Amino acid sequence: MEKNLLALWQAVPSGEIKKEKIVEVLDLSAKQATRYIRKWAAEGWFNYISGRGRGNSSELQWLKNVEEIYEKQLMEIIEQEAVETSSKYLMYDWSIDSKIRLINKFRSKFGFFQHTSDVDKLIIPRKYAVTTMHPLEAADIQSANVVATIYNRLVAVDAAGKVLPELAHSWDVSATKLRIYLKKDVKFHDDSFLTAEDVADCLNRLRTHVHYKELWEPVEKIQAVGPLVIDFDFPSGCSYCLQMLGLMNSSIYKESQGQLIGTGSFYADNSHDFKTVLHAFKDFFGERPLLDRVEFVQVPSDFDFVYRSATQPDTEKTFMVESDSGVGVVIMNAFRNSDIRRKEVRDYLHWIIAKYRHEIVQYNPRALPNHQSMLIGQNQHYQVEEVKRPIFTKPLIIKTTDYLEKATAWIQAAFEKEGIPIEIQHLPFEEMLFDNGIDQQADLFIRGEVFEMNQNFSFYHFLKNGNSPLVKMINTDENLSHLLEKYVHSPFEEWLSLNLKVEKALMDSSILIPLYYEKRQIPFSADLMNINISHFGYVDFSKLWVRPTIAG
């Protein structure tokens, strides 16, 4: 099946057609389009008579119904082949009716399956690709959730801020030093045993990494002082060193023959662009997962799915599990050499955002307007007064990417209602993730942020890590820099108050503006058991299981 041929079928009916239209539909050069036309005509899909002379119309008469033939072929592929084989064809340009029929067939390939070999497998649809499995490079939540599954941290920090042992069994902490004691006989996925040297090597790479060195700056030395003992030295203090070890990017791994090896409950194998496969690690130091394999398969972005077992019919009752899917904020690039540098411009835009914020639900029904704070459950009680319209010398540049399309449409509509000149700059997702220089080629943008586990530490991480769009701005602002310096010596229990002060300063400067909360509603069939929400609001697959059906 050829994607371009189906696209041509959908866009061009039989009759007269300009060659330029075909070139546009196929998004190819004129020479490439000509080669395809000749090939498809020779295969009997259509008759094509080229118009003589520049600008004259050609004649195209379809001989076969491309979509009908392709739909039948894809139905057979869905029935007979692995799910990732058929998933890529669903990305093609199908009509609504064909896509509904294909997706209904496709859904039967997802869910829980118990093979005759007693292998329990869960196949899950995935709308966005896993871009990396490296803990230091995972900046999107799809990749970060997989990283959190195949690696472990020394400790875990729960939503309430309590620090729990993971690879560490205990620790001693003072104002200038942290000593971690590792659990015994923890195995990597290659069956080697975890040592203090492995941990020190891994965390020293993290400590000096360009994206995290500012966060880790207070820690001057990490060293193994015994086979299962690691010391962290921070002579000038670091109140958050222990909590920092619970972050996903603090995952422990080792490198062997160019591969990263973890200690987690699952390990990755046989993965590619359309599928990520996780296998249960039978020698996991914790509780061995009850699922033997989890497969994430790429599906179209409009694919609705339910976590169900394959033994249950589509009519089986489901229940919803709700988790936080993140917060949206508007960030104004106050240090760009443009109108946005003027506070009266930012304050005016802030007032426009507050004025129209309630309308965002018209563009994204899952987005709840947030008039309070980026920190969920907090309320800054701030009021935005009407501001006199400033002079705009040129259009504002708004930077965006695919997953922010709905929120960007909202802000564009709000600004256009007030006659504010704008230009939209669309970046690929991966490029926008790391486009965080001080200029950032844009005046403002919407940022979707999902907190990892503990909100208070995640907010500081959002401000301080090298991928943050704010870190370069904060470093050039004396007041903000002074506030961030307080974290190093403030007990973690006092961080909520400090976070609110920093956020208030950012809002008063019209640099960071809360926009929306977003909830994720995850449907599950009734026979899936022990559903727990873990890192970044995702399901903990190490705990999930299905009660077996006993014959008789």
CATH number at residue 377: 3.10.105.10
Helix (H), strand (E) at residue 241: helix 241-244
* 315 band by pLDDT with thresholds 50, 70 and 90: very low
**Which domain does 178 fall in, by range?**
153-256
Check pLDDT > 60 for residue 181. Answer: yes
pLDDT tens readout for residues 120-174: 887 777 777 788 889 998 877 778 888 989 999 999 998 888 999 999 999 999 9
Check pLDDT > 70 for residue 53. Answer: no
Is residue 92 a part of any domain in this protein? no
Is residue 81 a part of any domain in this protein? no
| Co-location of 378 and 506 in the same domain | yes
Of residues 544 and 177, more confidence is placed in 177
Residue 274: CATH number of its domain? 3.40.190.10
Looking at 240, 256, 272, which one is the last position of a domain?
Answer: 256
Residue 16: CATH number of its domain? 1.10.10.10
Helix (H), strand (E) at residue 84: helix 83-87
Of residues 468 and 325, more confidence is placed in 468
Q: What is the mean pLDDT of residues 29-55?
A: 89
Is residue 103 a part of any domain in this protein? no
Q: What percent of the chain lies above the pLDDT cut of 70?
A: 86
pLDDT at 74: 94
Please state the separation of Cα 287 from the chain's center in Å: 27
Cα–Cα distance for residue pair 390/305, rounded to 1 Å = 47
pLDDT tens readout for residues 505-528: 999 999 999 999 887 655 555 566
Residue 216: CATH number of its domain? 3.90.76.10
| Co-location of 503 and 373 in the same domain | yes
Of residues 141 and 114, more confidence is placed in 141
226 neighbors 213 (Cβ within 8 angstroms): no
Domain count, the chain: 4
| Co-location of 243 and 296 in the same domain | no
Cα–Cα distance for residue pair 250/207, rounded to 1 Å = 9
Q: How much is the mean pLDDT over the chain?
A: 86
Is residue 136 a part of any domain in this protein? yes
Q: What is the mean pLDDT of residues 196-201?
A: 97
**CA–CA distances in Å: residue 156 to residues 64, 376, 386:** 60, 20, 45
Check pLDDT > 50 for residue 310. Answer: no
| Co-location of 498 and 395 in the same domain | yes
pLDDT at 421: 92
Is residue 244 a part of any domain in this protein? yes
Lowest mean pLDDT, pick from 222-231, 292-301, 350-359, 391-400: 292-301
pLDDT at 548: 64
pLDDT at 326: 79
Contacts of 406 by beta carbon, 8 Å cutoff, 6+ apart: 363, 364, 367
pLDDT tens readout for residues 65-94: 999 999 999 999 988 887 778 888 888 999
| Co-location of 341 and 467 in the same domain | yes
325 neighbors 537 (Cβ within 8 angstroms): yes
Check pLDDT > 80 for residue 228. Answer: yes
* 2 band by pLDDT with thresholds 50, 70 and 90: very high
| Co-location of 147 and 157 in the same domain | no
What is the per-residue DSSP string for 25-48?
Answer: HHTS-HHHHHHHHHHHHHTTSEEE
Please state the separation of Cα 106 from the chain's center in Å: 24
Is residue 215 a part of any domain in this protein? yes
pLDDT at 311: 46
Is residue 101 a part of any domain in this protein? no
pLDDT at 122: 79
**CA–CA distances in Å: residue 399 to residues 83, 129, 142, 448, 470:** 35, 21, 22, 13, 15
| Co-location of 351 and 457 in the same domain | yes
| Co-location of 189 and 235 in the same domain | yes
| Co-location of 379 and 514 in the same domain | yes
Is residue 497 a part of any domain in this protein? yes
Q: Which residues pair with 511 in a beta bridge?
A: none
| Co-location of 173 and 207 in the same domain | yes
| Co-location of 145 and 234 in the same domain | no
Looking at 211, 239, 256, which one is the last position of a domain?
Answer: 256
Q: What is the mean pLDDT of residues 434-454?
A: 75
pLDDT tens readout for residues 448-493: 888 877 889 989 988 888 778 787 778 778 888 899 999 999 999 9
| Co-location of 437 and 350 in the same domain | yes
Check pLDDT > 90 for residue 297. Answer: no
